[in-house]
Amino acid sequence: MRIAKIILFAAAIIATAVCCIPQNAARIGNAGPQTIIYKTRADYSKNVPVTLSDDKSKIVSYPAPQDVYRNGQLAYPTPLVKGYLLDNRGVTVNTAFLALTYEEYAKLGQVPNPDDLYSQIIDKSPFTQMYNLGTRYSFKNLVPEVDSIIEHHKLKNFKRLK
């Protein structure tokens, strides 16, 4: 009888906790896609990004040709003020850029071999600055709000990655 009461009490607590989770719980904290902005040494905005190992000796992640799209459009970074770009592909500090453009890459008939792609890297250390501004869900109007952060010199309030 005592065990049944404990189980019933525990079930009631769990049910109460679950029903009280906000509908937008995924928007709280850092859950969801991150807002990464960056500047590069040269204009690589049309070039496909790939992720290198920490020692930059090999490609550890790269898109399939059909994965260079976002919402049906090629996933170019979004231009921001003062030369910053808003990432739409998942760049990291270990990202490098290929000589292939998004258009050329999207037309490839099959997933390329990473060794073949490695030979097409044009810059293994392309970033001069990179910031993580938190989850995209924390912005109501992403581009204008990020532009405002940049223009008002508020990047110091966010995590600098590079």
pLDDT at position 14 over 70: no
Pick from 138, 132, 159: which is nearest to 26 by CA? 138
DSSP 8-state symbol, 156: G
The CA dihedral of 36, 41, 42, 43, to the nearest 10 degrees, is 10
Pick from 81, 90, 98: which is nearest to 34 by CA? 90
pLDDT at position 26 over 70: no
Residue 70 confidence class, pLDDT cut points 50, 70, 90:
confident
Q: What is the mean pLDDT of residues 101-109?
A: 94
Q: What is the mean pLDDT of residues 14-23?
A: 39
Which tokens sit at 47? 């070039």
pLDDT in tens, 80-91: 999 999 999 999
Q: Write down the pLDDT at residue 4.
A: 44
If one compares 148 and 9, the residue with the highest pLDDT of the two is: 148
- Lowest-pLDDT choice from 34-43, 50-59, 77-86, 107-116: 107-116
d(CA 35, CA 131): 8
Give the HSE-up count for residue 35: Cα atoms under 13 Å, Cβ half-sphere.
Answer: 23
Helices (H) and strands (E) in the chain, counts: 4, 11
Residue 31 confidence class, pLDDT cut points 50, 70, 90:
confident
Q: Write down the pLDDT at residue 27.
A: 39
pTM above 0.75, yes or no: yes
DSSP string, 37-92: EEEESS--TTEEEEEE-TTSSSEEE---GGGGEETTEE-PPEE-GGG-EE-SS---
Q: What is the mean pLDDT of the chain?
A: 86
3-state helix, strand, coil in the chain (%, to 5): 35, 30, 40
Q: Write down the pLDDT at residue 140.
A: 95
Q: Write down the pLDDT at residue 124.
A: 95
Give the HSE-up count for residue 145: Cα atoms under 13 Å, Cβ half-sphere.
Answer: 10
Domain boundaries, the chain: 26-160
pLDDT in tens, 108-144: 989 999 999 999 999 999 999 999 999 999 999 999 9
